[in-house]
Structure 1
Amino acid sequence: MYAVIKTGGKQYRVVPGEKLKVEQIPADIGSEIVLDQVLMIADGETVNVGAPLVEGATIKATIVSHGRGEKIKIFKMRRRKHYQKHQGHRQNYTEIQIGDFAAK
């Protein structure tokens, strides 16, 4: 059994018990959240695809931790113009553990 969900502007294929790093969600560690933007649920041979969302489908998840990703270095340069720009970025994330699936 698996599902395709949408959170933080991205789509993820999830299975129960899986740990996943998603865009930051403002919730406390250990709290349970409900992901209601379910695009598809598959259970064996039965596949339920939404248009665009599956009606009444929800997925429960537990917040495991919050953190920051790896540093990404950004370097811009214009040749012969004496222009160089150095930047860095670390994206915040929330690690969640997928729980139960509920579909009508």
Structure 2
Amino acid sequence: MVVKWKYCNGFLLVRVARQGVAGGRGNDKSMLAVIKTGGKQYKVSPGQKIKIEKLEIPENQEVIFDNVLLVEKDGKVEIGTPVAKNVKVIGKVLKQGKGDKIIVFKYKSKKRYKVKRGHRQLFTEVEIVEIK
């Protein structure tokens, strides 16, 4: 089975196709999952590196994601309601850091009002080790 999805108006639309059907991937045995962390959803597969919202976990430590919304493993798809049961995604924290600086500038003409503020979002870079 092949899973295709896209976001539409903030919702995750999922389409499941059988192997051998147009658009299928054949005998590809890849694994992937959709996890939820930091209020966002991420499509991940083993070996992939992702930047997520800041986690209070030191570098080179293991992190376990329990909020797994969808899993494709060996051609079988499990869609959670709302989370898949007995499925975990294990990752390794590579580094903690700050994103690029964003400048917020507010200005009102003829009123002598201007405010300039900067922001750097904290992030955690995680490498996905395995999907159980």
TM-score, length basis structure 2: 0.74
Secondary structure of the 2:83 match is coil
Determine the C-alpha separation between the residues in 1 that align with 2:75 and 2:65: 23
| Aligned AA (2:85) | E
Pick aligned residue for 2:103 from 62, 73, 82 = 73
Q: 1:60 aligns with which of 74, 90, 96?
A: 90
Of 37, 50, 58, which residue of structure 1 is paired with 2:67?
37
Determine the C-alpha separation between the residues in 2 that align with 1:86 and 1:54.
45
Q: CA RMSD in A?
A: 1.0
Q: Following the alignment from structure 2 to structure 1, what is the Cα–Cα distance between the partners of residues 77 and 107?
A: 50
1:83 counterpart residue number: 113
Q: Which has the larger radius of gyration?
A: 2
CA distance in 2, matches of 1:44, 1:35: 20
Query: Identity, % of aligned pairs?
Result: 38
2:51 corresponding residue in structure 1: 21
Q: 1:11 aligns with which of 41, 50, 55?
A: 41
Which residue does the alignment assign to 2:76?
46
Count the aligned residue pairs.
102
Gaps of 5+ in 1: none
Give 2:116's aligned amino acid: H
Q: Cα distance, 1:44 vs. partner?
A: 5.2
Tell me the TM-score normalized by structure 1: 0.93
Whole-angstrom CA distance in 1 between matches of 2:62 and 2:123: 16
Alignment-mate amino acid for residue 109 of structure 2:
R
CA distance in 2, matches of 1:80, 1:45: 64
The one of the two structures with greater contact order (alpha-carbon pairs below 8 A, sep at least 6) is 1
- CA shift at 1:46, angstroms? 1.9
Q: State the distance in 2 between where 1:25 and 1:93 align.
A: 8
